A and B are shown apart, each in its own frame.
Chain A
Amino acid sequence: MPARFLRRLISFALTLALTLFGLLAVTFVIARVVPIDPVIALVGDKAPADVYAAARAHLGLDLPLWQQFIIYLRDVLSGNLGSSSTTGNPVLSDIAHTFPATLELATYAIIVGIGLGIPLGVAAAVWQGRWPDHLIRVVSLFGYSVPVFWLGLVALLVFYARLDWVGGPGRLDIAYDYIVEPWSGLLTVDAAAAGEWDVFWNAVSHLVLPVALLAYFSMAYIGRMTRSFMIDELGKEYITTARVKGASEARVIWRHALGNAAVPLITVVALSYAYLLEGAVLTETVFAWPGLGSYITQALFDADMAAVLGGTLVVGASFVALNIFSELVYAWLDPRARMK
């Protein structure tokens, strides 16, 4: 038993290492191939040739590409992602500040998205072709076809500017800044842990709109997928068996059908969570949310390659982590996926 577990763990670790190595290699090469000269960004285009050459040597850019890559790899392994040329901070500390903002947004959004999407999808499958189904179709079609920045702006205009029901852009009102010592970086968690309930509720009021917006899109996606998986499962023979046994309709739907539909749903949920984590760039932009999405976008516009590389690495790592997590949940939900 422990040997089997160990072997599994090793294969997990190997997959993780290989994936991240591949990701690093690809982003590294792309970053070096693009016609952006980081030396000019540093010394300016009017610098004399000897200053330019010195800066170039300092950055290690005069070395062959493979050597540069090994140095980069060694730096990354020792936790050094380089310095951002725009913020002037180490990329790692920038990410430590921006990633929790995205994580907080994405996590609340996916929880709401699952909480609404799955019941709606189940209802649509059970009452297929009747009004709940049509309602859900319209709701998700709207979700697919309305641009998020427009919806975000309208939501801000109505609920913040006009009605003043919620907080505006950003994560907190200025008055609440720097009250709570960041620990996890998730403002709601930190504020609650510190007992600063004013800060907590202010953070919540700022979260409501972007979370609602992102949750709406994941809800639409999760709901559609739940519907189709449930229709598949409800047509299967074991559902007839459950009915033959005299199981109540609720039990047939929630225990038998959803128990099986949950297996493919894991992938759907993991994918939409990953999508949210990778930075819902437009949403973060509209709400001036200082998250990873806007950080990477800003870095791209400023040709800040160290920041782009670091951000991409974090996004990639969270993808891999989510994959591993969903594989574990898979094995938990589906006995056929358990290793012998």
Chain B
Amino acid sequence: MAQDTLLEVDGLTVRFPSVHGPIEAVRDISFAMGREKIAIVGESGSGKSMTARAILDLIRPPGERIARSIRLDGTDLTRLSPRQMRQVRGGRITMVMQDPKYSLNPTMSVGAQLYENWLIHVGKPKRLSRAAGQKAVLEMLEAVQINDPPRVARSFPHELSGGMGQRVMIAMMLIPQPELMIADEPTSALDVTVQMEVLKLMDGLVARNGMGLLFISHDLPLVSRFCDRVLIMYRGRIVEECRADRLHEAQHPYTQGLLSCLPSYAQRGHPLATLSRDAGWEVAP
């Protein structure tokens, strides 16, 4: 495991000032992952999205990111200049966000948005022609199983359905062939039927390109089927880490609590369990 570690986060904290003193959205978390599918799950506000954004150095002031180190294939991202970090962002680590309705620029055509990413990470560094970029855009749209790529490239985000929008987003983020993809609730805004299609597509592309996937979700059943390992976050800390297919054997009372809150057919007719919290959970076991 040690030699093929892709991402290693050590002592990451995200802090925001507030009138009641600083609030820590992420508290001193550490984890490592290889080229595998790893999930971060937790409730809203548990710090999972902030963890993703902190890795990409996208915490906006007045928020601040504090970390001993964040290593990507050995490079410590916390020591990079903003300019170097921009090359990592989108180029080596990328992120697919929740809702394509908001995460695509409404006034730029789909093709122009994909082309922009290609230009920053492929076209400019390699001094390739515009035609090569347009070809790459169409190929990438084809790879995410979009029918009639030239037409979609000319269209604008408001003309796409949710599923198509998310495919476009995935295509855009994969153009520079990154090593790590972060997916921040990529299917939460989609219909259930479309969800599976998008997941399958993402799974296939991640496997084909040998990428790591950091999958952020609150959907425990989905994660246990889809990912290799699961990190469970509670109030800014990782409280448990386990294999995805062993999620039902989780030890931590919080994880057990979450699992018991899931509706199931076997418990029909009974009121759904709720979570009773314990101050002791905030301390990592």
Contact = CB atoms under 8 A, between A and B. Distances in A.
Given A237-B97, A246-B87, A246-B120, A335 B158 contact: yes
B14 interface: no
B128 interface: no
Contacts of B158: 335-336
A83 interface: no
A242 B172 CA distance: 11
Interface of A: 236-238, 240-248, 256, 259-260, 263, 333-336
A243 B89 contact: yes
B173 interface: yes
Contacts of A240: 53, 58, 97, 103
A245 B120 contact: yes
Contacts of A260: 105-107
B238 interface: no
26 contacts: A237-B102, A237-B103, A238-B103, A238-B104, A240-B103, A241-B103, A241-B104, A241-B105, A241-B169, A243-B89, A244-B90, A245-B89, A245-B116, A245-B172, A245-B173, A246-B89, A246-B90, A246-B91, A246-B120, A248-B86, A259-B108, A260-B105, A260-B106, A333-B107, A335-B156, A336-B106
A244 B107 contact: no
Range, interface on chain B: 20 to 34
A135 B172 CA distance: 39
The binding surface of chain B is classed by DSSP as: mixed
Interface in B77-134: 86-91, 94-95, 97-99, 102-109, 116-117, 120-121
Contact of A244 (B94, B99, B106, B109): B94
Given A335-B156, A336-B158, A247 B116 contact: yes
Contact of B117 (A237, A245, A263): A245
Interface string B138-180: 0000000000000000001010000000000100110000000
Nearest to B172: A245
Given A244-B90, A247-B116, A336-B156, A259 B107 contact: yes
B56 interface: yes
A256 B105 contact: yes
A336 B116 CA distance: 21
A248 B85 CA distance: 10
B17 to A, nearest CB: 13
Contacts of B103: 237-238, 240-241
B95 A244 contact: yes
Contacts of B173: 244-245
Contacts of A263: 107
Contact of B107 (A241, A242, A334): A334
Given A333-B107, A335-B156, A336-B156, A244 B102 contact: no
A237 B117 CA distance: 16
Q: In the A-B complex, list the 4 residue pairs whose CB atoms are closest, starting with the nearest.
A: A246-B90, A237-B102, A335-B156, A245-B90
Interface string B54-93: 0010100000000000000000000000000011111100
A259 B106 CA distance: 10
Nearest to B114: A245
Nearest to B117: A245
A238 B105 contact: yes
B121 A246 contact: yes
A241 B102 CA distance: 9
Contacts of B56: 243-244
A276 to B, nearest CB: 28
A240 B97 CA distance: 9
Contacts of A336: 106, 156, 158
A240 B90 CA distance: 11
Contacts of A236: 102
Given A246-B86, A247-B120, A241 B106 contact: no
A328 to B, nearest CB: 16
B167 to A, nearest CB: 15
A11 B120 CA distance: 44
Nearest to A240: B58
Interface in B24-79: 53, 56, 58
Contact of A243 (B58, B102, B106, B121): B58
Contacts of A333: 107
Contacts of A241: 97, 103-105, 169
Nearest to B88: A246
A240 to B, nearest CB: 6
Of A240, A334, A336, most buried by chain B (CB within 10 Å of CB) is A240
A162 B156 CA distance: 58
B99 A237 contact: yes
Given A237-B99, A244-B173, 8 more contacts: A238-B105, A242-B105, A245-B89, A246-B86, A246-B91, A246-B121, A335-B107, A336-B158
